[in-house]
Structure 1
Amino acid sequence: MTEPEPRWIVAANVVLWRRYGPLGQELRPGTKAYKGGSKVFVASAHVGMGHEQLTTIGRGRHTGRWITIDTATRHLYGFRAKLVYTPAVLRRYDQVTWWPVRTEEEAVEYAERLECIAAEQRASYHVGPHPDPCRCHECLSRG
């Protein structure tokens, strides 16, 4: 088996804490599948749903093995272009993506767009007041 060629892929991190429950008054660390702060790679997006969900590749919270799972865009931040060499990531990426990013410029542009979408979704998903004290991504980013 030959090693896949390195590719430009959009990478992001999972928020350390996310709001949860009625009006977002509870806080949960990371997501069910990923630890907070984990690096994930964006393989594809559900465009028809306004990019609310992204198919991501990352190390699972419980096993540490590579997983491919749909993740809410609002649970990710720090989108950036990354040249990926890891064969396991590249194989999974090729299996699930339907529009591969071809250049660094495309990856940078898409990462900027996803960062804006994620921030909008975090701001609009839980419209109630933040719990006190709050450690959600938005509150930690401000302070």
Structure 2
Amino acid sequence: MSTETEAEPLGWCVVANVVAETANGPGGLEIRAGVKRFPAGAKVWVLPPMWANDSDRLMAVGHHHGRGHRLVRVPVRRRHLTGFRVRMIYSPAVLRAIQRPARGQCRPWLWAGHAEAQEYAELWSHGRPLGVRPAV
């Protein structure tokens, strides 16, 4: 049973936080707090992988720190994210940002379920490439 104050779950998603400091520029000599579009510690919703040959970049949705904190969907290097975990999506605005059509996109970017999201959260937490599965 739900009351008017409880939000209905809209789906599962992998979430992470932006690391405190990132190395950028030639030789990684420029140290920044966070990344270009997200501040350090920001919570981002990580979408299912879309690039089979590029395990370093993940598409993420989060509140942009420079443009009125609106939700943006941008690629982020995996090394700039930490604390991968699986959570429910409760915000319709977050769901719209995840599902917003993109150029060349023919399917919505949603996780199939908790099990798939959990598998990738564990792989990314341990720094394994997308195509590598842990030994059973």
Corresponding residue for residue 44 of structure 1: 48
Shift of 1:20: 1.7
1:115 counterpart = 2:119: no
Q: In structure 1, what is the Cα distance between the partners aligned to 2:39 and 2:18? A: 7
User: Could you list the runs of 5+ residues in structure 1 that have no partner in the other structure?
Assistant: 121-143
- RMSD across aligned positions (CA): 2.3
Higher relative contact order (CA 8 A, sep 6+): 1
Q: Which amino acid aligns with 2:65?
A: R
User: May I ask how many residue pairs the two structures share in their alignment?
Assistant: 117
Residue 84 of structure 2 corresponds to residue 76 of structure 1: no
Q: CA deviation at 1:8?
A: 0.6
1:90 deviation in Å? Answer: 0.8
Cα deviation 1:37-92 (Å, max 9, x = unaligned): 00000123243333221111100011211111111111111110001110011112
Cα separation, 2, equivalents of 1:11 and 1:21: 27
Which residue does 1:65 correspond to in 2?
Answer: 70
Deviates more, 1:3-12 or 1:85-94: 3-12
Identity %: 33
1:1-143 to structure 2, matched below 5 A, reads: 6-62=10-66, 63-95=68-100, 98=108, 100-117=110-127
CA offsets per residue over residues 91-138 of structure 1, 9 Å max, x none?
A: 1222356553222222111111122337x8xxxxxxxxxxxxxxxxxx
- TM-score by structure 1 length? 0.71
What amino acid maps onto 2:56 in structure 1?
E
Q: TM-score, normalised by structure 2?
A: 0.74
